[in-house]
Amino acid sequence: MLIPESVKVGPYEYRVVIVDDLHSSTDRNVALFGEILYKPQEIRIRAGMGDGHRLSTLLHEVIHALDDEMYVIGLSEKQIKCLGVGLAAFLLDNGLLREEAE
């Protein structure tokens, strides 16, 4: 499954980077699946995950961008996680994703 090199969320373009070692910037003992960095406009995703997990992680971070930067909805972390997983399943189950670059 194709994970784009960048995604546009509203007026902002975020570079998508796959990284081998991803931990919380505030606690190195906490491993992360993904994170969004607003100032360098970068979404980081941990390497080694399956397609569905990688996609749900990307969507999770995009939902953070929508909530934090664009619409200030005030979603909880649990709501963001559920939306990311649910949207990933919807897209994968219905064949709505490109498999490779055009």
User: What confidence tens digit (pLDDT) does each residue in 68-96 have?
Assistant: 888 889 999 999 999 999 999 999 999 88
> What is the structure's pLDDT at 28?
83
Q: Residue 102 pLDDT more than 60?
A: no
Select the CATH number that applies to the domain covering 6-93 from these four: 3.30.2010, 3.30.1330, 1.10.287, 3.90.550: 3.30.2010
Domain boundaries defined on the chain: 6-93
In the predicted model, what is the mean pLDDT of the chain?
91
> What is the structure's pLDDT at 69?
82
Evaluate whether 64 touches 56 at the Cβ level (below 8 Å): no
CB contact set of 54 (below 8 Å; sequence gap of 6+): 1, 3, 45
Exposed/middle/buried for 75, CB within 10 Å: 0-12, 13-18, 19+? middle
Tell which residue, 46, 49, 48, has the closest CA to residue 61: 46
How far apart are alpha carbons 19 and 79 in whole angstroms? 25
pLDDT digits (tens, 9 = 90+) for 22-42: 998 788 888 999 999 999 999
Report the percent of the chain where pLDDT is more than 70.
94
Indicate the pTM of the whole model: 0.89
How far apart are alpha carbons 25 and 39 in whole angstroms? 14
